[in-house]
Amino acid sequence: MNIPGPIQQPPTSAWSMYRAIVGIGAMCALLIVTVYQTTADRIRENQERFLAAAVSQILPAAQTTVAVVQTEDGRLEEAVETPALPVFMGYNADGELVGAVVTAQGMGYQDNIRVLYAYSFELDAIVGFKVLDSKETPGLGDKIEKEPHFLANFEALDATLTPDGDALLHPIVTVKQGQKLQPWQLDGITGATITSEAIGNILNDSANTWAPVLEKNSHAFAIREISEEQ
Amino acid sequence: MLGKEVSTTDEFVKGLWRENPVFIQVLGLCPALAVSNTAINALTMGLATTFVLLMSGMSVSALRNFIPREARIVSFICIIASFVTAVDYLIQAISIELSRSLGAFIALIVVNCLILGRAEAFASKNTFGRSVLDALGMGVGFTVALLWIGVVREILGSGSLFGVALLPDTFQTWTVMVLPSGGFFAMAMWLLLVNWVNERAADAEKRAQEATP
């Protein structure tokens, strides 16, 4: 029997190992940097376009928007830089305040969910909703993005404030599918219980913070002069 | 096959059926099962994997005399991870929506054993041209296999194909098909079919050989 043993190869010199690993590392770094540099502008544009499209989709009356931030004493002022969870005031063609769009986030079933919702000063209600980022189970948790009866919750989800205007009068809660009785309840999704409850919690937490701030500042932001160039 | 010259077209064709990465080699099952819940996700995942397979196959075969044996795995992974990062940026630049629907799975192409497997078993031992053909064949085979699984899961699980409603509203969708377990069911069904077809072909060949002494 003449079975060939493992092929004996001379040991590799340290220099050629070093050359290969450092060389490949440098080439890969160059590749990543090049692709990042060439795509960075497109990606930022895409993200801005996506956010702008989402804002105008959920607050169609708004022609222009202004990003605002909260100062330490609870006032709102125009944002210099768009923050990570931006809040926008929306104005119609005549420069009148028609609503606000708030970004909110919280833990879902799989991962963080980031959503956008529109707040109407006239109705004291949430009048639009869109998921920005979610890794919920495809086919179940992601129904929060497309299930018609769930999206129907956001025709006018009650967010009335207490008489002193410091918090929501009724907390926003998710109920079992088909059991919605009150305008502040969210009709949940069978098969996506945790995800639809997460949306209720995210909206409740965010609206509890933002609805009072937005209402208190709505007079200061009521009218915006439309500049001639636009 | 020993000693027989493999034709260049065969390097491409073998990945489509005879050595199909999913149905015959049973490699890269994590993405094959995870992202095949709709046809469009399956197609995008397949194309992204094909791109990484092709680019890493080209790089590995071009650098094969430069990479020492002991450092090959770390070099391959480094090359593959770089191309995956590039693909991730490219998909985001093409469409945020598409990138959103693929979620974490693009990053996980790095650990797809199919890509490392082809780099190790083929590209590191073969010429540039053959590696390109092999990568393309395997990539197309992988994409087609994913698409088959995706089509079955989307039709049964959502009643639609490429997002277009196919079945009437009265059809009760099989939710289980869009869940991970549905991936296993669809995969098992296709494996059964592929093995049955192959077995029949082998039997027919055997009979033909016996008939002609």
Please answer yes or no on whether B67 and A36 come within 8 Å at the CB atom. no
CB-facing half-sphere around the CA of A182: CA atoms within 13 A: 12
User: Would B120 be classed as within a structural domain?
Assistant: yes
What distance in Å separates the CA atoms of residue B47 and residue B28, rounded to the nearest whole number?
14
Q: Searching chain A, which residue's CA lies closest to the CA of residue B159?
A: A139
CA angle centred on A112, ends A59 and A62, rounded to 5°? 10
Of A16, A39, A139, the CB nearest to B92: A39
Chain A positions in Cβ-Cβ contact with residue B86 (cut-off 8 Å): 31-32, 35
- Looking at residue B193, its pLDDT comes to 92
* Confidence at residue B3, expressed as pLDDT on a 0 to 100 scale: 44
Task: Residue A7: count other Cβ atoms within 10 Å of its Cβ.
Answer: 5
Q: Residue B98 domain-assigned? A: yes
> Residue B2: what pLDDT?
45
Whether A31 sits inside 8 A of B158 (CB atoms) is no
Q: In sequence order, what are the beta bridge partners of A187?
A: A175
Inter-chain CB proximity B103 and A12 less than 8 Å: no
Give dist(CA A113, CA A107) in Å, integer: 6
Please report residues of A whose CB lies closer than 8 A to that of B178: 138-140
Question: Which chain A residue lies closest to B69 (C-alpha atoms)?
Answer: A12
Collapsed DSSP state (helix, strand, coil) of residue A105: strand
Domain that holds residue B101: 12-205
A/B interface, count of CB pairs below 8 Å: 77
Q: Is the pTM of this model over 0.90?
A: no
Evaluate whether B74 touches A21 at the Cβ level (below 8 Å): yes
Q: What are the backbone dihedrals phi and psi of residue B18, each rounded to the nearest 5 degrees, phi first?
A: -60, -35
B213 in a structural domain: no
pLDDT band at B120 (very low <50, low <70, confident <90, very high): confident
Q: B89 and A138: CB-CB below 8 Å?
A: no
Inter-chain contact A36–B89, Cβ cutoff 8 Å? Answer: yes
Residues of A whose CB is below 8 A from B93: 39, 42-43, 46
Rounded to whole angstroms, how far apart are CA atoms A220 and A149? 36
pLDDT tens digits along A15-59:
888 888 999 999 999 999 999 999 999 998 898 888 888 888 889
Chain A CB contacts of B179 under 8 Å are 137, 139-140
pLDDT at A229: 45
Residue B5 in domain: no
- The 10s digit of each residue's pLDDT in B173-194 is 787 888 888 889 999 999 999 8
Interface of A with B in 189-208 (CB under 8 A): 191
Is B110 among the domain residues? yes
pLDDT at A163 over 50: yes
Give the integer Cα–Cα distance in Å for A106 and A94: 35
B2 assigned to some structural domain: no
Q: In chain A, positions 136-155, which contact chain B (CB-CB < 8 Å)?
A: 137-140
Determine, for residues B66 and A20 on separate chains, whether the beta-carbon distance falls below 8 Å. Answer: yes
Calculate mean pLDDT across residues B79-96: 90
Distance from CA of B208 to the nearest CA of A (A): 36
> B-chain residues within 8 Å CB-CB of A133?
100
Of B78, B81, B104, which is closest to A135 when you measure between CB atoms? Answer: B104
- Write A185-193 long-range contacts (CB < 8 A, 24+): A186/A150, A186/A153, A186/A157, A187/A149, A187/A150, A187/A152, A187/A153, A188/A150, A189/A143, A189/A144, A189/A147, A189/A150, A191/A140, A191/A143, A191/B175, A192/A109, A192/A136, A192/A137, A192/A140, A192/A141, A192/A143, A192/A144
Domain contains B3: no
The whole-angstrom distance between A37's CA and the closest CA on chain B is: 10
Q: Do the Cβ atoms of A90 and A61 come closer than 8 Å? A: yes
- The answer to whether residue B211 sits within a structural domain is no
Contact A28 B95 (CB under 8 A): no
Residues of B in contact with A135 (CB under 8 A): 103-104
Q: How many CB atoms lie within 10 A of CB B124?
A: 20
CA proximity to A90, closest of A129, A53, A63, A51: A63
Give pLDDT tens digits for A83-111. 778 888 888 888 888 899 999 999 988 88
Please give the tally of structural domains in chain B.
Answer: 1
